[in-house]
Structure 1
Amino acid sequence: MSKTIAIGLQDFRKIREQNTFYVDKTKLIKEWWESRDDVTLITRPRRFGKTLTMSMIEQFFSIKYSECSQIFEGLYIWSDKEFQKLQGTYPVISLTFSDVKETSYEQMRKKICEIIVDLYNDNDFLLNGDILNDREKEYFRKVSAEMEDYEITIALRRLSGYLFKYYGKKTIILLDEYDTPMQESFVGDYWDEFTAFTRSLFNATFKNNPYLERAIMTGITRISKESIFSDLNNLEIVTTTSSKYDEMFGFTEAEVDVALKEYDLWDRKAEVKRWYDGFTFGEKKELYNPWSIINFLDKKKVGPYWTNTSSNRLVRKVIQEGTKQVKETFETLLLGGSISTAIDEQIIYNQLNLDEGAIWSLLLASGYLKVKGQSIHEGDYGQWKHVYELEITNYEVKVMFHDMVRDWFAYSASNYNEFIRALLQDDLKAMNIYMNRISASTFSYFDTGRKPSESEPERFYHGFVLGLIVELANRYELTSNRESGFGRYDVMLVPKNHEDDAVILEFKVQDMDDERELSDTVQAAIRQINEKNYAASLIQKGIPDNKIRKYGFAFQGKKVLIGSESK
């Protein structure tokens, strides 16, 4: 009989004692311990088993679980007699920042302080007897959210010291989802304050801690060393492009095959592979995200399980507010293409508004993009750089991106749908009415966010083009900024059905020096379509001139005027 599927269960002991579905990843314990690394940072996309892995490691090493060795029996790690002797022999401090998502620095700081307070409460047995002296006991009792920064940032180091005095052994420290509050601080605009606090906390805990045996941190991204790890020269970093522990997070294809057979779903293999395969860690390809696989095994139908478990707020923000170049590159991905870009896996959050490469690095680390290929090129000043070819990871992520683009127009969904209908019917009057309504209600959503401006409509209309891709993909092949004739057109819709017209759209911002009226700008746009012969590629495809519609879009702030060659 197949084991019960437990959705969202992240406590290793519960999974084993309740005999629910589990894929053995205990080999990580052996590989990590034998590596002898002081502090290990492992980055993986969310819902890839990081929290369950930390629970597994805690319950293997912690003295608190010394009487629970049976939960490891029958697993890979228990086949090694030497590791059986290690189980339950170390003091362990385990904490998670997964729920630290406050909207202000002060609230974020208090939340982390309360997590540390809970750790002290869990270990209040240390106050018994004479293990701690009076001064240590006084500090122990004073730990609270109201403490000064200099006091709270050394709290984890001091707790590991107290545990050392009690057990006579150095402490293993496990920090899960270390970067969740980092992402929130960037979105909430208190990045500098929070990183200063975190830098002090991490240095005291992981660098200047004589009572630390070893430590593991997990997260989605590798925050730049300059931001929070400036003094940690003992840090082993394992990112999604690293081969170390490549099979220890996520499910391999072989593991998925075993599960599909166990649950009588083998005939759905191709469907599951299309939706959920595609993740790559190091040289290991064909990895699946566990959350979607477990949900599929339970519900027996495909769906966007992994992508629906989070608001994807940061990803939405950096693309939605991104520059023209960001949206054009994203368009290539959305159309099923790949992009080549240099990747710096050190995410500098306060550069996300300035550095396009940082955005694709973020999407790669988060699991939304995968590595298709890579090469090494000589850059400026003789420096060599890794260039990666990236594409959307799988169909589930593509569905998420399509939904994300639709959400951009949620405030004017009816107007957007009416505009699409008017465009298909060549109803110029209706196109103008609905396009201006869309612009008025959604323009600011495509701006920079921090310094909104109505002088750069490129952010809006390139977001608008992405919306066209999503809505018309079944009826048209849509491209933009491609060469045709003697220039590069803005948007071209090539019909998949010969009965439909082809469409060329050209966008222009009004030049007040040369164009007194928006109508002048419209005519300039249409004139450019004709003078540059943008229709050439359509004619080469066999589309007659009378089946090609040409529209000029003129922008003045949020105001839009659309005209056509014949009207």
Structure 2
Amino acid sequence: VMTGITKISIASCEALESLFSDLNNLKVITMTSKKYASCFGFTEAEVFAAMDEFGMTNKEEVKRWYDGFTIGDLKDIYNPWSIINLLDERSLKTYWANTSSNELAGSLIRLGDVNLKMQFEELLSGVTISCKIDEEIVFHQLGQKRNAVWSLLLASGYLKVVGIRDDIYEMQLTNYEVRKMFENMVSDWFGEDTVNYNGFLKALLRGDLEEMNEYMNRFSLAMFSSFDGGTHPSKEAAPERFYHGFVLGLLVDLAGRYKVTSNRESGLGRYDVMLKPLNKEDDGIILEFKIYNPKKEVDLEETVQAALKQIEEKGYEQELLDSGIKKNHIRKYGFAFEGKKILIGK
């Protein structure tokens, strides 16, 4: 038995499986293969029996953290490494996730386009994503194929399949341990600038517009390059997609307090980002992004007003109103970008 996640190359695999090779007719078993499904991981019955032996009673919490793996048709599979360490340390931690730096997956997500980042944000919010998956993907294709990152995450066990329709896989994050790992990964992307990162989120929650602007501009000066954001509007709106993806990354830590959605229909159009509170005492928040266009606007303030006008004219608040949030508990912000300069208004 040989184990691994992806093939190294097509050429090497073809050579290994050649008629004239000593090693041929390899049978590849993937996460959706039914054969040998019971040979991977611990079943729930085995985990709970082990917990009884160790006098541990927090079975529901353990299930939330470590259950979720699906091999073939077999559900409720637990990662042995996490469970063994749990029994040893008697503490809920990200044991399995911490056995690897996950640099490859992190790099593919960080360098991906805004659509990939939006799907990633949906996963962190507990939403199911749908896309084509190549379970036979080869290592060198990971940076070339559009959905390669999801194929990698499925093969690695970070995603679980909840349904397959034709060639479309419906997937979710495997469990809470995996979610915590990715939340920590996103936070690490901001490195030493964590103060500005946390400061912006706190200012946003308080509705402190002055501090939101201060922290966001500190952040942009430290992290943006003119190449990232661009200095001129583009027909393809590439700079706006960059800023869109960047702000989505900032909002990841709010997933436990808000349902963060992006580019969804509401009213007469599609908003950029919406924060729907999980606690009805919190305000709903709508964010709209605009790149400064000197042909249309005198300054960033006019760009902000254009963003706010779009929120009103398109009726983006409708989704929040339909969910029972009162109009006076909905905050709307326009973000104007020009290279490293950012202005936020309401």
Q: What is the TM-score when the length of structure 2 is the normalising length? A: 0.87
Of structures 1 and 2, the one scoring higher in RCO (CA 8 A, sep 6+) is: 2
Residues 501 and 340 of structure 1: is their aligned pair in 2 closer, same or farther, counting only changes over 3 Å? closer
> Which stretch of structure 1 is more off in the superposition, 236-245 or 326-335?
236-245
Q: Give the percent of matched residue pairs that are identical in Structure 1 and Structure 2.
A: 53
Determine whether 1:221 maps to 2:6.
Answer: yes
* Alignment partner, residue 465 of structure 1: 248
Question: What are the equivalent positions in structure 2 for 1:131-170 lying under 5 Å apart?
Answer: none
Residues 401 and 430 of structure 1: is their aligned pair in 2 closer, same or farther, counting only changes over 3 Å? same
- 1:357 Cα offset (Å): 1.5
C-alpha distance in 1 between matches for 2:334 and 2:192: 25
Question: What are the equivalent positions in structure 2 for 1:23-42 lying under 5 Å apart?
Answer: none
Contact in 2 for aligned 1:224/1:346 (Cα 8 Å): no
- 1:337 Cα offset (Å): 0.9
Question: What are the equivalent positions in structure 2 for 1:335-484 lying under 5 Å apart?
Answer: 335-376=125-166, 386-443=167-224, 453-455=228-230, 456-470=239-253, 472-484=254-266
C-alpha distance in 1 between matches for 2:312 and 2:244: 21
- 1:353 Cα offset (Å): 3.9
Question: What are the equivalent positions in structure 2 for 1:257-272 lying under 5 Å apart?
Answer: 257-265=48-56, 267-272=57-62
Determine whether 1:518 maps to 2:316.
Answer: no
Contact in 1 for aligned 2:291/2:303 (Cα 8 Å): yes
Determine whether 1:246 maps to 2:27.
Answer: no
AA partner of residue 218 (structure 2): R
- 1:349 Cα offset (Å): 4.1
Q: Of 120, 129, 141, which residue of structure 2 is paired with 1:330?
A: 120
C-alpha distance in 1 between matches for 2:106 and 2:127: 20
C-alpha distance in 1 between matches for 2:61 and 2:155: 25
Contact in 2 for aligned 1:307/1:400 (Cα 8 Å): yes
Contact in 2 for aligned 1:321/1:459 (Cα 8 Å): no
Kindly name which structure, 1 or 2, has the bigger radius of gyration based on alpha carbons: 1
Contact in 2 for aligned 1:478/1:491 (Cα 8 Å): yes
- 1:403 Cα offset (Å): 1.1
* Alignment partner, residue 236 of structure 2: none
AA partner of residue 461 (structure 1): H
Contact in 2 for aligned 1:411/1:441 (Cα 8 Å): no
C-alpha distance in 2 between matches for 1:419 and 1:238: 46
Mind listing any 5+ residue stretches in structure 1 that lack a counterpart? Answer: 1-215, 377-385
- The superposition leaves residues 333-364 of structure 1 with CA deviations (integer Å, 9 ceiling, x where unpaired) of 11111111111012244443443311110000
Residues 260 and 350 of structure 1: is their aligned pair in 2 closer, same or farther, counting only changes over 3 Å? same
- The superposition leaves residues 68-98 of structure 1 with CA deviations (integer Å, 9 ceiling, x where unpaired) of xxxxxxxxxxxxxxxxxxxxxxxxxxxxxxx
How large is the Cα RMSD of the aligned pairs?
2.3
- The superposition leaves residues 45-76 of structure 1 with CA deviations (integer Å, 9 ceiling, x where unpaired) of xxxxxxxxxxxxxxxxxxxxxxxxxxxxxxxx
AA partner of residue 392 (structure 1): L
Residues 507 and 354 of structure 1: is their aligned pair in 2 closer, same or farther, counting only changes over 3 Å? farther
Determine whether 1:506 maps to 2:297.
Answer: no
The secondary structure found in structure 2 opposite 1:397 is helix
Contact in 2 for aligned 1:322/1:353 (Cα 8 Å): no
- The superposition leaves residues 480-515 of structure 1 with CA deviations (integer Å, 9 ceiling, x where unpaired) of 211111001111223344544322110122334433
C-alpha distance in 2 between matches for 1:440 and 1:350: 35
Residues 352 and 325 of structure 1: is their aligned pair in 2 closer, same or farther, counting only changes over 3 Å? farther
C-alpha distance in 2 between matches for 1:264 and 1:498: 39
Determine whether 1:557 maps to 2:332.
Answer: no
* Alignment partner, residue 233 of structure 2: none
Contact in 1 for aligned 2:240/2:290 (Cα 8 Å): no
The secondary structure found in structure 2 opposite 1:240 is coil
> Which stretch of structure 1 is more off in the superposition, 271-280 or 416-425?
416-425
The secondary structure found in structure 2 opposite 1:247 is helix
Contact in 2 for aligned 1:322/1:459 (Cα 8 Å): no
Contact in 2 for aligned 1:510/1:521 (Cα 8 Å): yes
* Alignment partner, residue 312 of structure 2: 530
Aligned length: 331
AA partner of residue 280 (structure 1): T
Determine whether 1:283 maps to 2:43.
Answer: no
Residues 246 and 533 of structure 1: is their aligned pair in 2 closer, same or farther, counting only changes over 3 Å? same
C-alpha distance in 2 between matches for 1:434 and 1:547: 24
- 1:395 Cα offset (Å): 0.9
